[in-house]
């Protein structure tokens, strides 16, 4: 059986494609205008090139670091620390949120501590962590972990406790256990929430890594930004910030790609999820 697209659908798709291309065009145009204005301002003396640098000088610094390979090393260090802290924050955050959902008394006991820890500026904790663990990569990863993990716990736990009570009652009606509620209702209902939290976490992990590299890093983009500002090499600083923005965008797009793959799961798997209540009826 072939799927035929109606003329109305074709016109709609063409219109949507044209709209997306127009948006992309304006986005690129704004970027180009800003770069040109920046370069003109530096060349004409409207802005001080020594302080604000210029696109040409930033590009020259980038090429220089590409030739000696140092930029790849610094990006690789920051990327490694971000991925490790992100993975730890996501996994531990989901596990702790599950534990709090499982034991509601424990969640009530720990709730004020989570609120306080979430409100506490993590830059205040970074020096303490570094004193405890030393000036090493472990300190940077733990600093980034403290930034991301509480957000994961709070967001995922709130998603767990707001799952439809009717579905949970139905599971218990058909002699289901708390484990069945968790695996058949709570987790499937929170897949979108977990992925949304991961989108936030990847940025928070990167922020935590940069904070750690500012204080204890010997390598990485955060260290490069701090060192460049200390020796007044603003070309390095701005180039590192641009690279940081590119890394953040790339990591975010990876999560978006993962989200699309999850949403494209085979139809029969989605059908089985919609039929899980019938399994409990057969068990009765």
Whether the per-residue pLDDT at 265 is higher than 70: the answer is no
pLDDT at 267 over 50: no
Mean pLDDT of the chain: 85
- Assess whether 153 and 273 both reside in one domain: yes
Q: Are residues 253 and 156 in the same domain?
A: yes
Taking each helix axis from N to C terminus, what angle separates 276-283 and 267-274, rounded to the nearest 10 degrees? 50
**Shared domain check, 267 and 203:** yes
15/145 same-domain check:
no
Residue-wise pLDDT for 3-42, tens only, equals 566 777 777 778 888 888 999 999 999 999 999 999 999 8
Measured N-to-C along each axis, helices 55-68 and 70-102 cross at an angle, to the nearest 10 degrees, of 90
Pick the residue with more confidence: 2 or 19? 19
Number of domains into which the chain is organized: 2
Say yes or no: 10 and 102 in one domain.
no
The mean pLDDT of 59-65, rounded to a whole number, is: 91
Angle at 149 between CA 145 and CA 155, to 5 degrees: 155
> Residue 102: which domain range?
53-283
Q: Which pLDDT value is given to residue 178?
A: 81
Instruction: Write down the pLDDT at residue 1.
Output: 47
CATH number of the domain within which 242 lies:
1.10.3720.10
> So what's the pLDDT on residue 11?
79
pTM over 0.85? The answer is no
Res 134: pLDDT: 82
Query: What are the structure tokens assigned to 195, written together?
Result: 């992925």
> Looking at the structure, do residues 63 and 25 belong to the same domain, yes or no?
no
Residue length of the chain = 284
128/27 same-domain check: no
The residue-averaged pLDDT of 251-263 equals 88
In whole angstroms, what is the distance from residue 104 CA to residue 116 CA? 19
């Amino acid at each position: 059986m072939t799927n035929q697209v109606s003329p109305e659908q074709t016109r709609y798709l063409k219109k949507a494609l044209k709209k997306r291309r127009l948006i992309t065009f304006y986005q690129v145009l704004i970027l180009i205008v800003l770069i040109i204005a920046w370069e003109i301002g530096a060349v004409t003396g409207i802005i001080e090139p020594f302080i604000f640098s210029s696109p040409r000088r930033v590009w020259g610094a980038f090429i220089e670091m590409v030739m000696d390979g140092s930029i790849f090393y610094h990006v690789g260090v920051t990327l490694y620390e971000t991925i490790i802290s992100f993975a730890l924050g996501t996994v531990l955050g989901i596990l702790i949120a599950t534990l709090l959902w499982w034991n509601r008394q424990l969640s009530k006991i720990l709730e004020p501590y989570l609120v306080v820890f979430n409100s506490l500026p993590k830059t205040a904790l970074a020096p303490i962590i570094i004193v405890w663990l030393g000036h090493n990569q472990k300190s940077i990863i733990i600093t980034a972990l403290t930034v991301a993990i509480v957000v994961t716990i709070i967001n995922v736990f709130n998603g767990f406790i707001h799952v439809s009570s009717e579905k949970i009652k139905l599971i218990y009606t058909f002699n289901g256990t708390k484990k069945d509620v968790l695996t058949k209702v709570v987790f499937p209902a929170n897949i979108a929430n977990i992925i949304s939290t991961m989108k936030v976490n990847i940025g928070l992990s990167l922020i935590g890594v940069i904070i750690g590299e500012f204080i204890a890093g010997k390598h990485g983009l955060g260290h490069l930004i701090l060192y460049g500002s200390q020796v007044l090499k603003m070309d390095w600083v701005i180039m590192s910030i641009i690279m940081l923005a590119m890394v953040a965008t790339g990591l975010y797009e990876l999560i978006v790609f993962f989200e699309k793959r999850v949403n494209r799961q085979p139809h029969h798997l989605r059908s089985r999820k919609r039929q899980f209540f019938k399994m409990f009826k057969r068990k009765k």
